[in-house]
Amino acid sequence: MAYAWDALRRRPGRTTLTALGIGLAVGLVVLLLALSAGIQTSASELATASGVDLVAASANTTLTSGSLPPIEHAHSLSTGIPARDSNVETASPWLISDLVFGNASLWARSNESEVPAGWSPTGSGSVGWIPGDNTGLETPQVYNGSGFTARGDPYFANGTYTGTKTGEIELDQGLAGVLGVTLGDPVWAAASAPTGPSALGSWYSHATEFHVVGVTGPFWLVPSALLAFVYLSELQAIVGGGTPSTDYGSLILIHLFDPTTAATDQGTISASFEGLTVFTLANILGEIQHVVNLYRTFGELIGLIGLVVAALFTTTVLQMSVDDRSREIALLRALGYSRASVGSLVVQEGVVLSLLGLAIGLPVAYLGAEAINAFLLRLLAGLPSGFNFVSFNLTLVATGLGLVLVVGLVAAIAPAARAMRLPVAEELRAP
């Protein structure tokens, strides 16, 4: 290796540029692998820790549809599913919808007809659920306040929708901050936004008033910096579906006593409720893996192109190195070095050059991955602590090492063959 290192040291500029090219190509591949590994690992850990073993959606819904058709009679499913499958501990109906929220300050200004420029209600994702039906499921942590007071759904009143509305709402910290509200403050919610400042008075008169009973942390299942939680029936009353004949929901989250039999429970529930499509955790993670694999394949193609370019560039540099040292190589042959020994020196030079590229590429990949991870975590608010889009491990380091060795060996083939074929006598007689 000493001869190879000396050959590279004599041409520092060319060596540096070549090592940089190899490093960037290898770093790109390692970065893409780290991203796919991080997303897959974090998604698997979150899904496993969530307590969600099965997810039931409306019939004919697919995981990639991007929409959630309504499930009818959602309240009855919370008891009906466990009645049909004794392994079901919890069947929690959720209604997921977008609402528009206004606070007391905006309400006061709308009454005075003095709405400052830029003031308007805030759009937010919202979840309607039955608090008592979330046993075993991971739900947002309430940081401030006592949270919902009733475990059931009072307004539903056994399907009559004639019970008492609680008017209780929990807001995550993001939405509470935007609205400028705290515990006990009123907020108003409606399914649509006002058409303009002049319509605010009418909007408030038709909106539903709530009071804040809890401020929560972010919720990974519905990633949003602005999220509200209310009783299922009270959200139904705002967005529609709050009647005995409809009772709409979006999903049923199911927690099992024994999650190892999830596939069997999937078949039991699907057979018992023809209006539902049931997914296991494996189905959901498999779909995530499929999407990750698509992006990973695309990234690997880009990385492969980069590696090919780096290998060709390295081949050119090694070829130039052989030409520059042709007389030196001929002298080695004259002193007794075999063709194979001369070729091995060129191969060593290629390997050393590639290892220099690895020394550049791994730090570049790591720093780039950390920067991308930080950017995505800021961009996608609502993700739980501990979630990472990247995952570095010894396997990735080994992959990088393997790639640079392949680049070095492949790039050295043609230059080594040229060095082995150099005419010794002609090179020594050359002026």
Tens digit of pLDDT for each residue in 169-214? Answer: 999 998 999 999 999 999 999 999 998 888 888 999 999 999 999 9
Q: Mean pLDDT in runs of 10 for the chain (431 residues)? A: 59 73 81 80 74 89 75 93 95 94 90 76 93 90 93 91 95 92 96 88 93 89 79 95 87 93 94 92 72 70 78 81 74 78 79 82 85 80 70 80 81 81 65 57
Q: Which single residue is written with the structure tokens 């959606």?
A: 57
d(CA 198, CA 205) in angstroms, rounded, equals: 13
Cα angle 280-286-288, degrees, rounded to a multiple of 5: 110
Q: Are 315 and 416 in contact (CB under 8 A)?
A: no
Report the predicted TM-score, pTM, of the whole model to 2 decimal places: 0.73
Contact, 361 vs 19, CB < 8 A?
no
Residue 156's pLDDT is 94
Q: What is the pLDDT of residue 284?
A: 73
Which of 129, 99, 126, 94 has its CA nearest to residue 249? 94
Retrieve residue 186's tokens.
């009123």
Query: What's residue 289's pLDDT?
Result: 66
At residue 2, the pLDDT reads 59
Dig out the tokens for 2 from the structure. 């000493």
